[in-house]
């Protein structure tokens, strides 16, 4: 018998600190009036800080010139089309069997010729953005990812289009003129990109925008998925961050429900039975009775499912959508080697941990690792999760070392 408890990880910091950096209204009002529904423009004067601590033009230069950035973490676009990778990358040189490393001189030439620079996945490659993106995901309860768009003066990187995720546009430097239009498809899913509705998008792009505005440094624009948009840099180089929010939807629930129903229906011997020898599989008349049998089995399975039946699969999906806070492997190894009873430890942030009781033992599942917990350790691990930290003496040095090596406990 297995009994799963609720997550024992302490709640994220109160007050939605990352969300409060980018919208001036309270979280409840944002959720009720804008989330997934209506755009929101927030000016720098109404926000606590600009965004240049998160990213800058100097960060762009560092990533391209000395960090060995490769595709697909870098791409370039001009006049609405993405450039071939060979137009801005070269081999890594002697000793590096890498064919697609960013070439600083080629990037310069393409940028000077009007191409927009797109740095993708900054939530994995640039420290301040990593921290901000993870906190915003915790605030929203939905996964995030971050790209930077650096556009030369008087250029438009991408023509009118819509995204299949919500976005927060954070203007870092320069200015950019934005044009926003109503969706041609409300709340599009990931398999419903704008390119499948290109004609409708091009027709809608000829209409008067619902919003036409210039973003200046420190401004933030929120766009729910589906809203058409395009932007043009004005006067000088423009840099903005696009925080993509990949919303959990009821379609995700439907997907997991169908998987669970198929698994349950497979317990029925009639569903597992072979079709007749020489069966004309594509003949609707020949298969009518089989279709009705399967339909009835799936309907029964769906009717028997409840939210609890989906929780394990949804928890696994949630854990796989983001990563835990960054960890230094060598520093963590040294911590484990030097650990003694006085060592103070805390939970690694953004673990999304679950504690599951089994007969005779327990299992701690997280984004970092899955760890077996022995009966005598259960209360100590629970206390560690509830409090968010402990000394090695309270945990026990051996258990503390296992939690450190598993990437679950980090230095306090």
Round the CA-based radius of gyration of the chain to a whole number and report it: 26
* 72 cis-preceded (ω within 30 degrees of 0): yes
* Mean pLDDT of all residues in 228-249: 94
What is the reported pLDDT for 71? 93
pLDDT at 1 over 70: no
What is the rounded CA–CA span in Å between residue 169 and residue 230?
12
Confidence of residue 4 (pLDDT cuts 50, 70, 90): very low
Q: Which of 243, 37, 27 is nearest to 122 (CA)?
A: 243
- Assigned token pair, 110: 């393409």
| Cross-strand bridge partners of residue 195 | none
What is the reported pLDDT for 44? 97
* Mean pLDDT of all residues in 101-108: 95
- Percent pLDDT > 70 in the chain is 96
Q: Whole-prediction pTM value?
A: 0.89
CB 134 within 8 A of CB 322: yes
Q: What is the pLDDT of residues 74-90, one digit of tens each?
A: 999 988 789 999 999 99
What is the reported pLDDT for 235? 82
* Mean pLDDT of all residues in 382-399: 95
CB 3 within 8 A of CB 360: no
What is the rounded CA–CA span in Å between residue 404 and residue 411?
9
| Cross-strand bridge partners of residue 90 | 101
As a whole number, the mean pLDDT across the chain is 92
- Assigned token pair, 217: 């440094």
What is the reported pLDDT for 157? 62
Alpha helix ranges (H) inside 70-140 = 104-112, 122-125, 127-140
CA distance from start to end of the chain:
36
CB 224 within 8 A of CB 37: yes
pLDDT at 9 over 70: no
Q: What is the pLDDT of residues 66-75, one digit of tens each?
A: 998 999 999 9
* Mean pLDDT of all residues in 182-204: 96
What is the reported pLDDT for 160? 92
Q: What is the pLDDT of residues 143-162, one digit of tens each?
A: 999 999 999 887 766 789 99
Confidence of residue 2 (pLDDT cuts 50, 70, 90): very low
- Percent pLDDT > 90 in the chain is 83
What is the reported pLDDT for 38? 97
| Three-state secondary-structure class, residue 62 | helix
pLDDT at 289 over 60: yes
CB 223 within 8 A of CB 39: yes
pLDDT at 3 over 50: no
What is the reported pLDDT for 12? 41
Q: Which of 97, 74, 94 is nearest to 86 (CA)?
A: 74
What is the rounded CA–CA span in Å between residue 403 and residue 385?
11
Confidence of residue 179 (pLDDT cuts 50, 70, 90): very high
pLDDT at 260 over 80: yes
Q: What is the pLDDT of residues 313-361, one digit of tens each?
A: 999 999 999 999 999 999 999 999 999 999 999 999 999 998 888 888 9
Structural domains in the chain?
A: 10-245 (2.60.120.650), 249-274+288-309 (no CATH), 329-411 (3.40.366.30)
């Amino acid at each position: 018998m297995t009994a799963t408890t609720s997550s024992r990880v302490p709640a994220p910091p109160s007050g939605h600190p990352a969300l409060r950096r980018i919208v001036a209204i309270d979280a409840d009002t944002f959720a009720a009036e804008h989330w997934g529904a209506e755009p929101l423009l927030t000016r720098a004067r109404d926000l606590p800080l600009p965004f240049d601590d998160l990213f800058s033009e100097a960060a762009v230069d560092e990533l391209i010139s000395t960090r060995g950035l490769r595709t697909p973490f870098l791409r370039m676009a001009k006049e609405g089309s993405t450039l071939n990778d060979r137009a801005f990358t070269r081999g890594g040189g002697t000793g590096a069997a890498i064919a697609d490393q960013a070439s600083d001189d080629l990037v310069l030439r393409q940028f000077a010729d009007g191409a927009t620079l797109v740095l993708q996945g900054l939530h994995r490659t640039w420290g301040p953005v990593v921290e901000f993106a993870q906190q915003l995901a915790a605030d929203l309860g939905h996964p995030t990812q971050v790209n930077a768009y650096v556009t030369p003066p008087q250029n438009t990187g991408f023509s009118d289009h819509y995204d299949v995720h919500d976005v927060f546009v954070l203007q870092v430097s320069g200015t950019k003129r934005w044009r926003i239009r109503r969706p041609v498809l409300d709340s599009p899913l990931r398999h419903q990109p704008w390119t499948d509705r290109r004609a409708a998008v091009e027709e809608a792009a000829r209409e008067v925008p619902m919003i036409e505005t210039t973003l200046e440094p420190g401004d933030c624009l929120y766009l729910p998925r589906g809203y058409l948009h395009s932007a043009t840099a004005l006067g000088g180089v423009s840099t903005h961050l696009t925080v993509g929010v990949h919303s959990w939807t009821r379609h995700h629930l439907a997907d997991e429900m169908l998987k669970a129903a198929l698994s349950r229906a497979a317990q029925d011997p009639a569903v597992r039975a072979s079709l007749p020898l020489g069966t004309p599989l594509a003949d609707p008349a020949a298969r009518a009775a089989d279709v009705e049998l399967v339909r009835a089995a799936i309907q029964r399975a769906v009717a028997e499912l409840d939210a609890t039946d989906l929780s394990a699969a949804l928890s696994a999906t949630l854990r796989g959508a983001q990563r835990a806070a960054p960890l230094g492997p060598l520093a963590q190894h040294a911590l484990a080697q030097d650990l003694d009873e006085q060592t103070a430890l805390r939970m690694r942030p953004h673990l999304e941990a679950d504690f599951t009781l089994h007969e005779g033992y327990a299992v701690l599942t997280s984004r970092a690792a899955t760890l077996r917990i022995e009966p005598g350790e259960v209360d100590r691990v629970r206390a560690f999760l509830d409090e968010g930290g402990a000394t090695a003496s309270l945990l026990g040095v051996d258990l503390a070392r296992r939690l450190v090596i598993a990437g679950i406990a980090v230095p306090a």
